[in-house]
Structure 1
Amino acid sequence: MPTVAVYNTAGEQVSEIELNERVFGAPIRSDLMHQVVLQYLAARRSGTHKVKNRSEVAGGGRKPWRQKGTGRARQGSTRSPQWKGGGVVFGPTPRSYAFSVPKKVRRLALYSALSSKVAEGKIIVLDGLNIEQPKTKEMVAVLDKLNLKKALVVDGEKKRAPYLSTRNIEGVKYMEANGINVYELLRYEHLVLTKDAVAKVEEVFA
C-alpha cells in the first residue's frame, strides 16, 4: 500500500497514513483520463450556436422577377443562400455535445488520476483543516506553510469557512470528497486531502 506523510496546518509532519492500493496505487492509464476529460469538457459546452436558414431570415417573400424572358437565371426568392441577406446553408444549430463514457472507464480514470498524484509526490494529507472563520489570509498561511501555489483542496464534506477562505485565492480550489473528478485532479498541480477526505474517497470509490 502507498504510504504518505500526514501534516498539520503548520506544515509539520505528525504521522503517516497508508492509502488504499486499489484507489491510490492503480496503473496509470493516460488514455482513459484523456477520454474522461474530453467527456467532461464536452458536457460543459452550451451548444447554443445558431444561424438562420432560408425559412427564418426576414423578407424575400416575392419572386424577384418573372420566370422566363428576362435573360437572367430563374430565382424564387432573394433570401436563397446565394443572395446577400439570404439564409445560411448547413450552419450550426443548437445541439448537445455530451456523450457517455462507461462507468468502469470513469472509475479507472479516477483511480489513475489519484495514483498519478501519489506517484509524482504531488499529494499532501492534512490531519485536519481547522478554519473557524472565513478569512482568506488563514488559508493563504496554511498553503504557505505547505509551500503550495496551485492546489486542489479536498475535505470530507464541504464546510462554509474553508470554502469562503479559499474562493478568492487564484490557482486554489476547495471541494468535498464526493465531488472530485479527473478534470479537477489533473488541472491542479498538487492535491491536498484531509484525513476525512481520504476516508471518504476510499469509502465511496473503492
Structure 2
Amino acid sequence: MPKVDVINVKGEKVEELTLKDDIFGIEPNEAAVHQVVVAQLANKRQGTQSAKTRSEVRGGGKKPWRQKGTGRARAGSIRSPLWKGGGVIFAPKPRDYSKKVNKKMNRLAIKSVLSSKVADSEFLVLDALSIEAPKTKEMVNVLENIKAAKKTLILVKDLDENVYKSARNIPGVKTVTVETINVYDLLDCDCLVTTKDSVEKIEEVYA
C-alpha cells in the first residue's frame, strides 16, 4: 500500500498516511485516461461554427461569360468556391461534438491519474487547510511553505469560500472539490494538494 507524509501549512511533517491500494496504487490505464480526456475536451466544444456553401451564397445566378471564345477559363457562377466572395468547399455546419463516457471508465481514469500522481511524488496531503479571511498572500505563503509547483490543483472536501477566494487570483492555481474533480484538471497540474479529510472522502467515493 502506498504511503505519503501528512504535513501542516508550515511544511512540517505531522504523520504518515497509508492510502488505499485500489485507488492510489493501481497500474495506470493510459487508454482509459486518453478516452476520457478526449471526450471531456469534445464536450466543451460549442459546435456553433457555420459557413455558407456555394448554394447558400447570394448571387451567381447568371453565367459570367459565354462558354467558349473569350480565352478565359470556363465559369458558370461568380459564387464558385474558386472566386472571391464565393461559397466554401465542405463548409462547417453546426453539429454536436459530445461524446459519452460510462461511469466505470471515468472512475478508472481518475484512479489511474491519482495513482500516477502518488507514484511521481506530485501528491501532497495537508492535515488541514483553513484561512480565516480571503487573502491571496496567505495562500501564497502556504504554497511556498509546502513547496508546491507553479501549476497546482487544490482538492478540498467541501467548498471553502475563503480558500477558494484566496487561491483564485494566483496564476496556475485552481481549487476543486472531491465531487467536481475530473481527469483533465488532474492531468493539467504539476502538483495535487489535498487534505486528509479529502483523501478519506475520495476513498469513500471511489472504493
Q: TM-score, structure 1 length as denominator?
A: 0.89
Q: What CA deviation, in whole Å up to 9, does each residue of 1:23-49 have, x standing for no partner?
A: 111111222212211211122222332
Asked if residue 130 in structure 1 is aligned to residue 125 in structure 2, the reply is no
Q: Which amino acid aligns with 2:87?
A: G
Secondary structure at 1:5 match in 2: strand
Number of the residue aligned with 1:9: 9
Distance 1:30 1:40 in 2: 15
Deviation at 1:96, TM superposition (A): 2.5
Q: Which amino acid aligns with 1:133?
A: A
Q: TM-score, structure 2 length as denominator?
A: 0.88
Indicate how the Cα distance of structure 1 residues 82 and 178 shifts in structure 2: closer, same or farther if over 3 A, else same: same
Q: What CA deviation, in whole Å up to 9, does each residue of 1:78-98 have, x standing for no partner?
A: 324344322122121122222
Number of the residue aligned with 1:180: 181
Q: Which moved more, 1:78-87 or 1:168-177?
A: 78-87
Deviation at 1:103, TM superposition (A): 2.4
Q: Which amino acid aligns with 2:184?
A: Y
Q: Which moved more, 1:194-203 or 1:57-66?
A: 57-66
Deviation at 1:62, TM superposition (A): 4.3
Q: Which moved more, 1:7-16 or 1:92-101?
A: 92-101
Distance 1:140 1:104 in 2: 37
Task: Report if the CA contact (8 A) 2:64-2:75 is conserved.
Answer: no
Indicate how the Cα distance of structure 1 residues 86 and 74 shifts in structure 2: closer, same or farther if over 3 A, else same: closer
Counterpart mapping for 1:52-201 below 5 A: 52-62=52-62, 64=64, 73=74, 75=76, 77-149=77-149, 150-201=151-202
Distance 2:162 2:88 in 1: 52
Task: Report if the CA contact (8 A) 1:6-1:125 is conserved.
Answer: yes
Deviation at 1:197, TM superposition (A): 1.1
Q: Count matched residues.
A: 203
Deviation at 1:56, TM superposition (A): 2.3
Deviation at 1:125, TM superposition (A): 0.8
Distance 1:204 1:4 in 2: 20
Distance 2:26 2:170 in 1: 32
Distance 1:82 1:136 in 2: 56
Asked if residue 31 in structure 1 is aligned to residue 31 in structure 2, the reply is yes
Secondary structure at 1:89 match in 2: coil
Q: Among the aligned pairs, what percent are the same residue?
A: 51
Task: Report if the CA contact (8 A) 1:178-1:200 is conserved.
Answer: no
Q: What CA deviation, in whole Å up to 9, does each residue of 1:101-135 have, x standing for no partner?
A: 33222211111100011111111111111112110
* CA RMSD, Structure 1 to Structure 2 (Å): 2.0
Distance 1:178 1:126 in 2: 19
Distance 2:158 2:104 in 1: 25
- Uncovered stretches (5+) of structure 2, i.e. residues with no partner: none
Distance 2:26 2:148 in 1: 25
